Structure 1
Amino acid sequence: INPATIERIEIVKGAASSLYGSDAIAGVINIITKKNRDKVSVSNTTRVGSHDDLLQSEMIGFSNGKLNSTTSANMKHSGGWQNSTQEWYHHELMEGSVSKTVSRSTNFTISQNFTYKVNDRLSFSADASYYQKWIFRPVGPWKYYLYNYFYRNQDYAVGMKYLFRDKRSYLTADASFGQYNYYYDYTGREITDIINPEGGRIVYYPGDRVMQTMQQRWLNHVKSVFYLGDDHVLSVGVEHQQDYLKSPYRVEGGKASVYTLAGYAQEEWTITDRLNLTAGFRLVHHKEFGQKFTPKVSAKYSIGDFNLRATYSYGFKAPTLKELYQNYITVIMGPLKAYYGNENLKAQSSNYGSASVEYRKGNFQATVTGYYNRIHNMIALTVVPTSAEDKFLEVEETMKYNNLSKARSFGADFTFNYQIIPSLAIGGGYSYTDAKAQYTDKPDDPDYMKYLPINATSLHNANWKVAWTHKEIGVSLFGRYQSTRYYITDGNGKANQIWRLNVRSTLLKTKKWNLGANAGIDNIFNYIDRTPFGKNRGTTSPGRTIYLSLNVKFQNKQK
């Protein structure tokens, strides 16, 4: 997603699968992109920074009568960087690694949106986007990478919206298709273990581009929202989702597919000016895992400057096609590892509950939320014994998707914002998360029946911001802290804190033209995690970097 096209980001915490689907077992991040609202608008953003970082973005919008168009293009390049010259190789710590913490890469995205408004009540839309990315890997004395990575994605969607007579209730119908391809771009000759149908092993040569996976997703969604008087809002809808995976060398039989059918309903009832109740459910039919009923209920009570909220929801998430069927061997963070799907996986489910207190008065607002989530049959990668065949291929560790015995997380979030004076504001947040699971069912394992931290979780996370503005100048100081990040294998990620300073200035502002600049320093105190390759890091930041961006926009507004 082109960052310059993002209008806002909405976050729904906790299980929300009744309204958003079975994947929303722990929350929803909804990214809303900008749509043209002017007769003509043209904008350009250019950003340069350390490590050959370059971001180039353009947006063109126009409207002509009933037709509205938004076109965007985005190109991003990074030269990559290396934070350590040490690497674990065949269980030995080696010096002189050429591996990069973040590899050199280039990507671009082109997207197009058309909206046609037939009349005040009926409109149609069409969207398309195309994305490509190249990742280049260095080769050294004992690092014999024979291929780089290449990605090609494309998305298409059409939609319709019809307003009913009350001009608030509406009906929408949307259909979308996405295809996501992943390739190896060979830079050297490789004799594989794959047998050619004509006999002998398959051999790849420099310049060959070989597809590893192709994923496709069709999604059809019909939704209606009815405003029943002033006190009731009813949302109902049906969905159909079809997922397809093609992977000649990673999936037995070369392909797999699955479909999901679902219907849902949600009622928002404003009982009094102070009390609001929301209840909903989703009924899901999954090709492999049958039917599932997922309810949700929440309430909000207002008293003075406080809002009190409480939520309970039941979540359901089926394994993905990759978790079920994909098997492959690759290099991730150094060692050669084997990854295996598991056709015997069960769907995971969750019981989530939360309670929060919101306070808002004048220029100050704050929220405190506590939550508890118990997950049954949580799906996670676990370490399993390496087969003799894989050891012959120099595989050092084997991971397989399994259902964990039990998993649970509980914690608390705190956020606040305070506009101290018109030119000065502060804000921030803190999260405490205790997420643990039982990773084994083997009685002879020393960790049998023990709760261990869930991979990549940390107990404490915090962020803060101080922003000062005066006329056409703004200065912001950002910071974030993360405590130790826990992992079952390859060591824990170190605790760290990163600070960033940004200065914004409006250089020119007229009725039709706007020119602005941003300059900043990221990772002010130059923290670098030097953990050797093959072990987990707390951060991949390259240390102190600088950046500069220029934004220019022309707009001829609607009369």
Structure 2
Amino acid sequence: MYKALFSLIFILIPFYSVFGINKENNQRSVSGLVFNMEGKPLAGASVLVKGTTLGVGTNSKGEFNLLLQSNKETVLRFSFVGYHPKEYKLKKNDTNITVILEESINCLEEVVVTGSRIERPLKDVPIVTRMITADEIKKINPMEITSLLQYELPGIQFGRHHGTGLPTMQYQGTAGNYMLFLIDGERLSGEGAADNVDFSRFNIDEIERIEVVKGAMSTLYGSNALGGVINIITKEATQPFTGNISSRYCSIGEQKHSISLGTKQKRFSSLTNFSFRQKDPFTVSDTKEAYNITTNADGTFDTTIYKVSEVPIKGYRLWNASQKLKYVFSDNFSAQTKISYYNNRRLNTNNLAKFEDVYNDFTINTKLNYFMTENQFLDFSYTLDNFTKHYDFLLIDKYLEIYNDLINIARLNYTASYNDNNILTAGIEVNTENLKHYMFLDTGKHSNQNYVFYIQDERKFTDNFSVVPGLRFDYHSIYNLHVTPRISAMLKSDILTLRGGYAAGFRSPSLKELYSDYDMGGLGIFQICGNPNLQPETSHQFSLSGEINKGILNFSLSSYYNSFNDKIGMEWREDSTGYPNYVYINAEDARTAGIEGILRLKFGFGLSTQFSYSFTEDYQEVNGLNTSAMRPHNVTFNLAYTKKISSVTTITSVNGYWMSGINTYVFNSEEKSYSHKYYEPRYICSAQIGVKLPRGIDLNLGVNNLLNFKDKNISSTQTIMPEQGVSFLASMAINLSKLFSI
């Protein structure tokens, strides 16, 4: 891997030195201003030379300056979050221009990249994609990404892992290991709770937007993407000087502080981020006894009552740091690198604890972008991501590494656009993983490799109808070749857009599912056993959606059906000596189906609303019983009112979500049978009021868990993340470029 990477770099450097950098004798300078319809400058607007890697951002006065390498015909693309993008064809004598952008009443003009790896307006993407914008994130003002996703995505729920206490996720009937999380389009290593990413790695203050591709519809992503893709797009420097400072305090022992500094010049850009977060540990208590009802073989019932007890919830103290660098060598060639570091010390509720868990991650990602022609684009990406877990023994000053996950991913991607009617995307990818895990025998190591070729061809038959077929070839070092086809289609009119598709999915067993050999808790209670004979999971997904967009109204209704073959689960077995084991198996087939509706209204007087509802039918049959803990009904709502008085803007928002109760069956290891359980409904609501002052100062006050909801039974379930009751927060953010008029 490393030899191939360095060889490619040494090949590319002389090639671009000779052919990539244009001669300077044809240079021309273009300056200008970018305003909104009210005549006010738009600071941080993007000015991109279409068909090249060249672009700049406007300063606090809306000014920009571009240095072009030739006098050939040039088209500039102007964009700003919340505004309709505009293209401007430069004339030969243009040296100073003024562009006015019109505010958009919805987010359909915003660009997304996840489904095809190229920037496209959301309204033109055939694959069902949901976007969470920066403005939506600010109105919720969350401490953690788990809270943000629950307020924004109906059908998502987070639970608590019984071992680590960290969040586990389910979305539309699929568990966390079926969702692929990306940062700027790149995969992550490691896990927090079992089979879930470490959600604490996502720093809210770094997020520009979130793109959600539902299901396995995109050919560009394979294993671990059967349930969908959540791509976290981080911020970039958009002005000659970018600077932001923010702090957030909450009455339940939460605090968050961050600073970012950057610059975007004609050829060079840089952005540096530092962040500190802390959440105090706490203890929550049951307010009601829980019970299990077990059905015996003779048809009688046994009821087990669980006494009220307390549950300790760990806190954390963590640091994030990242550095982005980008250099545009020529109009056709650019390179960028991002280096990030993450350190999370998990805080115990018990001061007498002998050790603390410490999580670390180091990531480096490098991308090379090359426009072969105006309509042909080549990009190369390499990612190294190393995630580790340690025990820090407090009394003897000793570290013990118990987990080390190292991934290396190299990808070469080609995109070509022909006559605006055909977009071809093809690429190759090499993915290697080396994992050391405390659940392996003697904390051993295992590895695998995956080699990928994908091709996706979007064909626009008319202005209103397009089809995207695709094929993905995964060659796994253990499971050999798997081919998965996909096809999506879009039909749209002035107000109605229809999307539909079919996708075949493939997920190879994880190294942990193959090789675990772990005495749970070290107490001899039971053994967790991997299974080297596991077969890969396959899936089939069908989706259909409709979207109406008319004036202030945006309404979408989508449906899906997923079937899984050889789904990997766990089964209770006893070995020849009678010792109990939990063994990974290819269980009975499973299916999920559901619908989701989202209604958005944006009124002209500053009021905007969003209501969403989802229904999920998740059936996971074991011995004729449904063992799914996915709550079938979910509702989210967001209301925001913006009022501008002179130079001061106030934003008041109310956000909430409700999840229905559910009847399910769970395995009782003592009784060696399945018991009935009922999980009660949950409802959480928050309110915020923010003030935007002149000179880039934002103040915010809020109340979380406004209705003081508390779960009644916490100790007997891992399907929830406990709430502490009502809490109050205050936050402040300062835009340094506006403060100092830079």
Per-residue CA deviation, residues 95-122 of structure 1 (Å, 9 max, x unaligned), is 674x42x312111111111001101110
Report the equivalent of 2:509: 319
Structure 1 contact 492–536 (Cα < 8 Å) conserved: no
Report the equivalent of 2:211: 10
Report the equivalent of 1:466: 639
Structure 1 contact 412–433 (Cα < 8 Å) conserved: yes
Counterparts of 1:263-282 in structure 2, within 5 Å, are 263-282=453-472
Counterparts of 1:220-235 in structure 2, within 5 Å, are 220-235=410-425
- What amino acid is the match of 1:290? N
Q: Secondary structure at the match of 2:715?
A: coil
- Structure 1 residue 402 corresponds to structure 2 residue 585: yes
- Structure 1 residue 104 corresponds to structure 2 residue 315: yes
Structure 1 contact 84–532 (Cα < 8 Å) conserved: yes
Report the equivalent of 2:609: 426
Query: Of the candidates 335, 346, 352, which is equivalent to residue 124 of structure 1?
Result: 335
Report the equivalent of 2:690: 504
Evaluate the alpha carbon distance shift between residue 347 and residue 172 of structure 1 in structure 2; reply closer, same or farther with a 3 A threshold: same
Structure 1 contact 17–25 (Cα < 8 Å) conserved: no
- Structure 1 residue 480 corresponds to structure 2 residue 480: no
- Structure 1 residue 262 corresponds to structure 2 residue 452: yes
User: C-alpha distance in 2, partners of 1:41/1:68?
Assistant: 10
User: C-alpha distance in 2, partners of 1:107/1:216?
Assistant: 21
* Higher alpha-carbon deviation: 308-317 or 488-497: 488-497
- What amino acid is the match of 2:427? G
Query: Of the candidates 499, 518, 535, which is equivalent to residue 346 of structure 1?
Result: 535
Evaluate the alpha carbon distance shift between residue 125 and residue 548 of structure 1 in structure 2; reply closer, same or farther with a 3 A threshold: same
User: C-alpha distance in 1, partners of 2:355/2:306?
Assistant: 24
- What amino acid is the match of 2:372? F
Query: Of the candidates 354, 377, 381, which is equivalent to residue 174 of structure 1?
Result: 381
Report the equivalent of 2:371: 163
Q: Secondary structure at the match of 2:710?
A: coil
User: C-alpha distance in 2, partners of 1:119/1:244?
Assistant: 37
Q: Secondary structure at the match of 1:83?
A: strand
Evaluate the alpha carbon distance shift between residue 525 and residue 489 of structure 1 in structure 2; reply closer, same or farther with a 3 A threshold: farther
User: C-alpha distance in 2, partners of 1:337/1:424?
Assistant: 56
**Alpha-carbon distance, 1:236 to partner:** 0.4
Structure 1 unpaired stretches of 5+:
188-204, 392-397, 440-446
Q: Secondary structure at the match of 2:208?
A: strand
Per-residue CA deviation, residues 440-462 of structure 1 (Å, 9 max, x unaligned), is xxxxxxx2xx25143x4110111
**Alpha-carbon distance, 1:533 to partner:** 2.1
- What amino acid is the match of 1:119? S
**Alpha-carbon distance, 1:82 to partner:** 1.8
Query: Of the candidates 356, 365, 374, which is equivalent to residue 563 of structure 2?
Result: 374
Query: Of the candidates 475, 481, 485, which is equivalent to residue 285 of structure 1?
Result: 475
State the identity as a percent: 24
Evaluate the alpha carbon distance shift between residue 502 and residue 77 of structure 1 in structure 2; reply closer, same or farther with a 3 A threshold: same
- What amino acid is the match of 2:366? V
Evaluate the alpha carbon distance shift between residue 383 and residue 420 of structure 1 in structure 2; reply closer, same or farther with a 3 A threshold: farther
Report the equivalent of 2:671: none
Evaluate the alpha carbon distance shift between residue 28 and residue 123 of structure 1 in structure 2; reply closer, same or farther with a 3 A threshold: same
Counterparts of 1:54-69 in structure 2, within 5 Å, are 54-69=255-270
Report the equivalent of 2:61: none
- Structure 1 residue 184 corresponds to structure 2 residue 391: yes
- What amino acid is the match of 2:656? G
User: C-alpha distance in 1, partners of 2:241/2:665?
Assistant: 51
Query: Of the candidates 604, 618, 630, which is equivalent to residue 457 of structure 1?
Result: 630
User: C-alpha distance in 1, partners of 2:524/2:203?
Assistant: 33
User: C-alpha distance in 2, partners of 1:224/1:377?
Assistant: 34
Structure 2 contact 714–722 (Cα < 8 Å) conserved: no
User: C-alpha distance in 1, partners of 2:359/2:503?
Assistant: 37
- What amino acid is the match of 2:383? S
Structure number with the higher strand fraction is 1
**Alpha-carbon distance, 1:22 to partner:** 2.1
- What amino acid is the match of 1:551? A
**Alpha-carbon distance, 1:402 to partner:** 2.1
Structure 2 unpaired stretches of 5+:
1-201, 291-303, 669-676
Structure 1 contact 116–124 (Cα < 8 Å) conserved: yes
Structure number with the higher helix fraction is 2
Evaluate the alpha carbon distance shift between residue 257 and residue 297 of structure 1 in structure 2; reply closer, same or farther with a 3 A threshold: same
Structure 2 contact 309–715 (Cα < 8 Å) conserved: no
Query: Of the candidates 111, 127, 134, which is equivalent to residue 345 of structure 2?
Result: 134
- What amino acid is the match of 2:461? I
Q: Secondary structure at the match of 2:220?
A: helix
Per-residue CA deviation, residues 225-244 of structure 1 (Å, 9 max, x unaligned), is 10012210000000000011
User: C-alpha distance in 2, partners of 1:325/1:57?
Assistant: 40
- Structure 1 residue 148 corresponds to structure 2 residue 366: no
Structure 1 contact 425–466 (Cα < 8 Å) conserved: yes
Per-residue CA deviation, residues 181-222 of structure 1 (Å, 9 max, x unaligned), is 1122235xxxxxxxxxxxxxxxxx743321111001000010
Report the equivalent of 1:195: none
Structure 2 contact 277–319 (Cα < 8 Å) conserved: yes
Q: Secondary structure at the match of 1:22?
A: coil
Structure 2 contact 436–443 (Cα < 8 Å) conserved: no
Q: Secondary structure at the match of 1:323?
A: helix
Report the equivalent of 1:355: 544
Structure 2 contact 685–704 (Cα < 8 Å) conserved: yes
Structure 2 contact 217–501 (Cα < 8 Å) conserved: no
Counterparts of 1:196-215 in structure 2, within 5 Å, are 206-215=396-405
- Structure 1 residue 80 corresponds to structure 2 residue 281: yes
Per-residue CA deviation, residues 278-310 of structure 1 (Å, 9 max, x unaligned), is 110101100111100011001111234211111
Report the equivalent of 2:51: none
Evaluate the alpha carbon distance shift between residue 532 and residue 273 of structure 1 in structure 2; reply closer, same or farther with a 3 A threshold: closer
Structure 1 contact 107–133 (Cα < 8 Å) conserved: yes
Query: Of the candidates 28, 42, 46, which is equivalent to residue 229 of structure 2?
Result: 28
Q: Secondary structure at the match of 1:20?
A: coil
- Structure 1 residue 70 corresponds to structure 2 residue 271: yes
- What amino acid is the match of 2:709? Y
**Alpha-carbon distance, 1:94 to partner:** 6.3
Per-residue CA deviation, residues 353-403 of structure 1 (Å, 9 max, x unaligned), is 011111111110111111111000112344444897978xxxxxx543222
Evaluate the alpha carbon distance shift between residue 414 and residue 502 of structure 1 in structure 2; reply closer, same or farther with a 3 A threshold: same
User: C-alpha distance in 1, partners of 2:617/2:734?
Assistant: 45
- Structure 1 residue 219 corresponds to structure 2 residue 409: yes
User: C-alpha distance in 2, partners of 1:336/1:50?
Assistant: 40
**Alpha-carbon distance, 1:65 to partner:** 4.4
Evaluate the alpha carbon distance shift between residue 268 and residue 335 of structure 1 in structure 2; reply closer, same or farther with a 3 A threshold: farther
Query: Of the candidates 305, 308, 324, which is equivalent to residue 113 of structure 1?
Result: 324
**Alpha-carbon distance, 1:330 to partner:** 4.9
Q: Secondary structure at the match of 1:477?
A: strand
- Structure 1 residue 365 corresponds to structure 2 residue 365: no
- May I ask how many residue pairs the two structures share in their alignment? 513
- What amino acid is the match of 1:344? N
Evaluate the alpha carbon distance shift between residue 355 and residue 63 of structure 1 in structure 2; reply closer, same or farther with a 3 A threshold: closer
**Alpha-carbon distance, 1:554 to partner:** 1.2
Structure 1 contact 492–537 (Cα < 8 Å) conserved: no
User: C-alpha distance in 2, partners of 1:57/1:70?
Assistant: 13
**Alpha-carbon distance, 1:85 to partner:** 6.4
User: C-alpha distance in 2, partners of 1:96/1:435?
Assistant: 30
Per-residue CA deviation, residues 306-364 of structure 1 (Å, 9 max, x unaligned), is 111110010001111122113334569x9976533222221101000011111111110
User: C-alpha distance in 1, partners of 2:575/2:707?
Assistant: 42
Structure 2 contact 281–348 (Cα < 8 Å) conserved: no
Q: Secondary structure at the match of 1:342?
A: coil
